[in-house]
């Protein structure tokens, strides 16, 4: 799930709770979002917690930071996939006589 999809779902839940009379302060919303991220986000969550004051961090700034990091992670994955491409050679079946001649030539050159 992308960050924007997660934030849309989160906003829907928060708005429904507001309609029921339950509201949360911004600080608690920020902490809830950071807590719900998967383990792959742990370094980014730690960096945000240490670098920013969560009591004054706007929710929109947090989402922007997470979306930027998500884009960076996807770009790194795409670069890694491109680097891992391998070259495939087309196989062709040769006559067994040519194959035997090649074997003899190989043995002769090694001898």
39 DSSP assignment: G
pLDDT per residue as tens digits for the range 88-107: 666 666 555 555 666 666 66
From residue 94, alpha-carbon distances to 25, 97, 98, 109 in Å are: 75, 8, 7, 21
Query: Which pLDDT band, with edges at 50, 70 and 90, does 6 fall under?
Result: very high
The confidence score (pLDDT) of residue 77 equals 83
φ/ψ region of 24 (left if φ > 0, alpha if ψ in -120 to 50, else beta) reads beta
């Amino acid at each position: 799930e992308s960050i924007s999809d997660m934030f849309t779902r989160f906003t829907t839940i928060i708005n429904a709770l507001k309609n029921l009379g339950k509201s949360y302060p911004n600080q608690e919303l920020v902490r809830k979002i950071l807590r719900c991220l998967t383990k792959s986000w742990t370094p980014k969550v730690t960096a945000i917690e240490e670098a920013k004051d969560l009591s004054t961090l706007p929710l929109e700034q947090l989402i922007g930071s997470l979306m930027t990091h998500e884009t960076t992670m996807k770009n790194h994955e795409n670069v890694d996939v491109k680097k891992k491409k391998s070259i495939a050679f087309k196989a062709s079946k040769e006559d067994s006589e040519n194959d035997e001649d090649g074997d003899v030539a190989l043995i002769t050159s090694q001898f």
